Amino acid sequence: MKRERFEQRLLRIFEDAGYSPSQIMSVTPEEMVEIPGITVPNIRAVLAVQNRVLDETYGSHKKVVSARLLSDIQKTWSQGKESELAERLEQIGSTVIPLRADLPEKCFVYVESTNEIGIVTKGEKGYIPLGQKPEGVSVREGAALLNETQGVTKAQAEAMKAGSLFGWDTPAADPKNYDDTGKPLRPKHRERGEAR
């Protein structure tokens, strides 16, 4: 399909679903999968454009904002106010789960048990089914292509999947425990002569 026809079709799909062209830049993957007639390539195209615009608009500014927020949190903790935060969270029934900064906010995962693509959100249990299967590639490859479009590495995707399944505080939810292909790294075994 020619690029111009693809773009026109994509705009028509969003328009039929009640979205203006300017709203396309803020629509989430969860909202996109609910749009009738949308395909995985359509979603990939929108996500790629959203990322490109964010990078052009904010560039490295995102890192500055994150660093400033982290600095404020560190100051609060060093002033001994962590107990105040913990008490407030306890009152409303929440807990603090340490989430790694090197994890994306969302990613796509291949769900073997149902042979589908799921959307995992950092810090949340489980996944949301994408509801569509890719055309021309396997479901596993489709999830990998969607992540690639978002700049999500295979290690990050596997860590996100593990976090959503086993908890975000487990070692499996840390991308540093995976190689570049998303395979878990084997723990280093001690020599027999070393202390246990």
Give a yes or no: residue 96 inside a domain: no
Percentage of the chain beyond pLDDT 70 is: 68
Question: Residue 38: inside a domain, yes or no?
Answer: yes
Provide DSSP, 37-94.
T--HHHHHHHHHHHHHHHHHHHTTHHHHHHHHHHHHHHHHHHTT-HHHHHHHHHHTT-
User: Mind listing the pLDDT tens digit for each residue in 38-95?
Assistant: 888 888 878 777 776 665 555 544 444 444 444 444 455 455 554 554 554 455 454 4
Task: Looking at the structure, tell me whether residues 80 and 127 fall in a common domain.
Answer: no
Range of the domain at 71: 62-91
Is residue 45 located within the same domain as residue 72?
A: no
Residue 184 maps to a domain: no
Residue 116 placed within a domain: yes
pLDDT at residue number 80: 55
Average pLDDT over residues 126-143: 91
pLDDT category of residue 2 using cuts at 50, 70 and 90: low
pLDDT tens-place string over residues 5-31:
777 777 788 888 888 776 777 788 778
Question: Would you say residue 194 lies in a domain?
Answer: no
Q: In terms of domains, do 170 and 132 share one?
A: yes
Res. 160 pLDDT band, cuts 50 70 90:
very high
**Same domain assignment for residues 111 and 165:** yes
Tally of structural domains, the chain: 3
